[in-house]
Amino acid sequence: MSSFPCIDCAAVTDPRIEELATLLVERCVAVRPGWQVLVMGHPGARPLLEELCGQIGRRGAYALLRLRLESPPTRAWMLEADEDLVGRFTEIEAHDYDTMDTYIVVEAPENTRGGADVPAAKVAARNAATRPHMKEIFAGTKPWVGLDFPTQGLAQDAGMTLREFEAFYWGAMLLDWEALAERMRVIAARFDAADEVRIVGGGTDLRFSLAGRHGLVDALGANMPGGEVFYSPVEDSAAGVIEYSEYPACYQSHEVAGVRLRFEGGKIVEASADSDEEFLLGLLDADEGARRLGEFGIGCNPGIQNHMRNTLFDEKIEGTVHFAIGQGFGYLGGTNESVVHWDMVKDLRPGGRIELDGEPVQENGRWLF
């Protein structure tokens, strides 16, 4: 007989955190019994991470918690190790990625620029080592979901107090996903049926082809919040100019203002920026595919209206589009390959327009159908 003093004092969990965890576990990755689920994230996301572990447990699956102290997770090691070592994935690391059934990654950085001092070459070497083990993730055959959790760092980037950021965050996360998905399916049907897309806006006139390509509606999928319709455009089709004059382009702890790209035959032939141009040019030369488009996305989340220097949210701003240079989506017919996948967001609400095969379908960020 045991007289262990077991006081069953379950701490009260914020009901919003419970609801979000349920969306993630049951809808986004649909955890099944016996699965090995990697749960990764910063310690600041503790309430959500623990709720996730509990819910995964209730579904009869393993929650394998991997807290990250920095971004990238082994920043201190990467700074000190030589590039050759950084570029080698060990047996245990490979096995984690190869055999997990799904992963959930929750970013809760105290400082969103924590990785700013890791040389780009080492980041690229690490990404290249990781890639072969992410095949099923990229191919869409293994589910995953990535999201943020409110921290002072994220709020600061967004130009908000933590309180303001939290109010915004829950508004973008916990909305009527069924209704939004339905609306986005209507939008996707129009783009699926079109061949040529033309984007016009401040300093921008860009055409590209979606011929033979189908789009994906992002609702309760690999990103939370979702709220975009996205494509991999035909690789050699982009022609014209795009100027990201409204928002900085944010990637790997860098923030590049005024990016301007000129395309010919699908390839970037001219590039400039108002700040951190060297970083931009460096990435364009990362590999063969870095100068081509991997993604065209249309932001549709009504809970997101303002740019917050955070791609996960920014690319879903209602009335914006985004293009990613680099890696395309194989499951959407994309064939471009690159270690880069850099989403840059263009606001079309101030005077922008989208045309499909010559017919305007969106003006000033508002749909015309």
Partner 1 sequence: MALLTLSTDPRVDAYAKLLVERCLDVRPGMQVLIRTTPQAAPAVFALERELARKGATPILRIGFVTWPTNPAWAAEAPEELLGELAEIDRFACDHMDARITMDAPENTRDGSDLAPERFQLVKKAENYFYRRSMSSEIPWVSCAYPTEALAQAAGMSLAQFEDVLYGACLIDWDAEGERMRRYADAFDAAEQVRIVGAGTDLTLSLAGRRGEVDKGHTNMPGGEFFYSPLEDSAEGVIEYSEFPSSYQGHEFAGIRLEFHGGSVVEASATKNESTLYDLLDRDEGSRRIGELGIGCNPGLTRPMNHVLFDEKIDGSIHLALGQSYEKVGGKNVSSIHWDIVKDLRNGGRIELDGKTVQENGRWLI
The distance of closest approach from Cβ of residue 8 to partner 1 in the complex, given in angstroms and rounded to an integer, is: 8
Q: Give the span between the Cα atoms of 11 and 326, in whole angstroms.
A: 45
Residues binding partner 1: number (CB under 8 A)? 50
Among 14, 32, 57, 281, binds partner 1 (CB under 8 A): 57
Q: Which stretch binds partner 1 (CB under 8 A): 42-50, 206-214, 254-262, 311-319?
A: 42-50
**Least CB distance from residue 19 to partner 1, whole Å?**
17
List 63, 217, 220, 300, residue binding partner 1 (CB under 8 A): 63
Query: Is the Cβ of residue 79 or residue 167 nearer to partner 1 in the bound state?
Result: 79
* Angle, helix 162-173 to helix 15-22, in steps of 10 degrees: 40
Contact region with partner 1 (CB under 8 A), list: 60-68, 149-157, 341-349, 357-365 = 60-68
Question: Which pair of structure tokens corresponds to residue 160?
Answer: 């908000």
The answer to the question of residue 9 lying near partner 1 (CB under 8 A) is yes
Task: State yes or no: residue 7 binds partner 1 (CB under 8 A).
Answer: yes
Letter for the amino acid at 59?
A: R
Contact letters for partner 1, residues 66-105 (x by CB under 8 A): xxxxx--xx-xxxxxxx--x--x-xxxx-xx--xx-----
Backbone dihedral angles phi then psi of residue 93, each to the nearest 5 degrees: -60, -45
Q: Contact between 6 and partner 1 (CB under 8 A)? A: yes
State the minimum distance, in angstroms, from the CB of residue 61 to partner 1.
8
Binding of partner 1 at residue 46 (CB under 8 A)?
yes
HEC string for the chain: CCCCCCCCCCCCCCHHHHHHHHHHHHHHCCCCCCCEEEEEECHHHHHHHHHHHHHHHHCCCEEEEEECCCCCCCHHHHHHCCHHHHCCCCHHHHHHHHHCCEEEEEECCCCCCCCCCCCHHHHHHHHHHHHHHHHHHHHCCCCEEEEECCCHHHHHHCCCCHHHHHHHHHHHHCCCHHHHHHHHHHHHHHHHHCCEEEEEECCEEEEEECCCCCCEEECCCCEECCCEEEECCCCCCCEEEEEECCCCEEECCEEECCEEEEEECCEEEEEECCCCHHHHHHHHCCCHHHHEEEEEEEECECCCCCCCCCHHHHCCECCEEEEEEECCCHHHCCCCCCCCEEEEEEECCCCCEEEECCEEEEECCEECC
Instruction: Confirm or reject binding of residue 137 to partner 1 (CB under 8 A).
Output: no
Q: Does 178 bind partner 1 (CB under 8 A)?
A: no
Question: Using the rule CB under 8 A, is 259 a contact of partner 1?
Answer: no
**Nearer Cβ to partner 1, position 65 or 174?**
65
Question: Binding of partner 1 at residue 55 (CB under 8 A)?
Answer: yes
Does 267 bind partner 1 (CB under 8 A)? Our answer is no
Closest distance between partner 1 and the C-beta of residue 272, in Å? 30
Tell me if 212 contacts partner 1 by CB under 8 A: no
- CB of 55 or CB of 311, closer to partner 1: 55
- Is there binding between residue 229 and partner 1 (CB under 8 A)? no
Q: How far is the CB of 13 from partner 1 (least distance, A)?
A: 11
Judged by the rule CB under 8 A, the positions of this chain that interact with partner 1 are 2-4, 6-9, 36, 38, 43, 46, 49-51, 53-58, 60-70, 73-74, 76-82, 85, 88, 90-93, 95-96, 99-100
